[in-house]
C-alpha cells in the first residue's frame, strides 16, 4: 500500500563521531577469508589485522559494498603478511603449575611450589634441583591447583612490582627533570594488574603502571615509565611529546618496537 500522505517523523538523533553500525561478518570465499565489517563516521576505508589474526574492515556509510570487497582484495598480500607476522610471534599464555615459567626482568624462572610455612616468602634463586638447572621461583602455595598457583604468582608479582617500579620511577623522574630542564613531578603512583595498557598518566599527574612491567627486560620497563613521565609535560602524542621522549631515550623507537613484540610473545594475565 502506498500513501501520498505520511506522518511527520522526528529527526533522527545525530550520531556521535564514535557511533558505528553493529559489525557483520563478510567473506571472500575464493580467497578463504572472512572478516568483520562495520560502517562508522570514518572518512576512508580502514583495515585492521588484530594480534589473533582476525581482520576488521571499517568503511564510510557512502562507500558501496562492492568497493569495500574490491579494496580488501587489493590488500590481500598485506593482510596475509600481517597475519603471518602475528602467527610467528604468537606466544602461549602462562601456565600456572609446578614447573611452569614466570618472568622477572626479562629472565625466565622455573616455578617451584612449596608448602606454606610461617614466615616463608617467595624466593628467586639459581642452582640446580632434581636434575634441573635454575633459576627458580620458589613460591609458597597452599595447594597445587591452577587457581591457587595463579593467585600466589599474582600476589608475588604485585608486591615485587610496587617496590621495584616505585624505585625505578623515582630514578627516572630525576633524570627527566634534568634532561628536560623543568620541575614536573608525578603526583603519585599506583601499581596494579593491567591487561590492555602498560601505564597511564592523568592530567593531575597521577601515574599508573602495570604490575606486569616487572616481567619485562629493564630497558622496556624504562621505556614505559619514561613514556608516562613525558605525559606529565604533554598529554598527547604530538611531535613535542615525541621529541621529549627521544631526549630521555634516544632509542625510544627501537624500545617501542621491542615492547610490541614482547606483548605478542608473552600474553598478559
| The pLDDT of residue 88 | 84
Instruction: Give 131's pLDDT tier (boundaries 50, 70, 90).
Output: low
Res. 6: pLDDT tops 80: no
| Spatial CA neighbour of 51 closest among 98, 6, 88 | 88
* Interstrand relation of 188-192 and 132-133 (parallel, antiparallel or unpaired): unpaired
Comparison of pLDDT for 38 and 144, the residue scoring more: 38
- Across residues 24-44, what is the average pLDDT? 91
Q: Give the lowest-confidence range in 9-13, 117-121, 216-220.
A: 9-13
Segment holding 224, helix H or strand E: helix 218-231
Residue ranges of E strands in the chain: 24-28, 33-40, 46-49, 55-60, 101-104, 107-114, 123-125, 128-129, 132-133, 136-140, 188-192, 199-201, 206-210
Query: For 143-172, what is each residue's pLDDT tens digit?
Result: 888 899 999 999 999 999 999 999 999 999
| The pLDDT of residue 17 | 45
Instruction: Give 1's pLDDT tier (boundaries 50, 70, 90).
Output: very low
Comparison of pLDDT for 79 and 132, the residue scoring more: 79
- Across residues 88-112, what is the average pLDDT? 88
| Spatial CA neighbour of 83 closest among 117, 129, 47, 29 | 47
Res. 18: pLDDT tops 70: no
Instruction: Give 7's pLDDT tier (boundaries 50, 70, 90).
Output: very low
32: cell is: 578463504
| The pLDDT of residue 246 | 97
- Across residues 94-105, what is the average pLDDT? 89
- Name 125's bridge partners: 136
Amino acid at each position: 500500500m502506498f500513501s501520498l500522505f505520511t506522518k511527520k517523523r522526528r529527526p533522527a538523533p545525530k550520531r556521535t563521531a564514535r557511533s558505528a553500525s553493529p559489525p557483520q561478518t563478510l567473506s571472500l570465499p575464493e580467497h578463504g577469508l572472512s572478516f568483520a565489517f562495520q560502517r562508522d563516521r570514518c572518512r576512508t576505508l580502514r583495515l585492521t589485522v588484530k594480534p589473533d589474526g582476525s581482520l576488521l574492515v571499517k568503511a564510510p556509510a557512502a562507500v558501496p559494498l562492492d568497493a569495500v570487497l574490491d579494496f580488501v582484495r587489493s590488500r590481500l598480500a598485506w593482510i596475509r603478511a600481517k597475519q603471518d607476522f602475528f602467527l610467528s610471534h604468537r606466544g602461549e599464555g602462562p601456565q600456572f603449575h609446578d614447573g611452569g615459567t614466570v618472568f622477572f626482568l626479562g629472565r625466565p624462572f622455573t616455578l617451584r611450589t612449596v608448602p606454606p610455612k610461617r614466615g616463608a616468602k617467595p624466593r628467586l634463586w639459581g642452582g640446580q634441583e632434581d636434575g634441573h638447572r635454575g633459576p627458580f621461583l620458589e613460591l609458597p602455595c597452599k595447594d597445587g591447583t591452577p587457581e591457587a598457583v595463579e593467585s600466589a604468582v599474582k600476589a608475588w608479582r604485585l608486591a615485587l612490582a610496587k617496590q621495584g617500579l616505585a624505585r625505578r620511577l623515582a630514578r627516572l623522574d630525576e633524570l627527566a627533570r634534568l634532561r628536560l630542564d623543568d620541575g614536573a613531578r608525578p603526583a603519585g603512583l599506583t601499581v596494579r594488574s593491567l591487561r590492555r595498557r602498560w601505564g597511564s598518566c592523568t592530567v593531575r599527574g597521577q601515574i599508573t603502571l602495570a604490575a606486569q612491567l616487572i616481567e619485562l627486560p629493564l630497558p622496556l620497563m624504562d621505556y614505559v615509565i619514561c613514556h608516562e613521565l613525558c605525559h606529565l609535560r604533554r598529554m598527547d602524542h604530538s611531535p613535542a611529546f615525541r621529541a621529549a621522549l627521544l631526549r630521555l631515550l634516544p632509542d625510544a623507537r627501537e624500545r617501542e618496537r621491542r615492547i610490541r613484540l614482547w606483548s605478542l610473545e608473552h600474553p598478559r594475565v
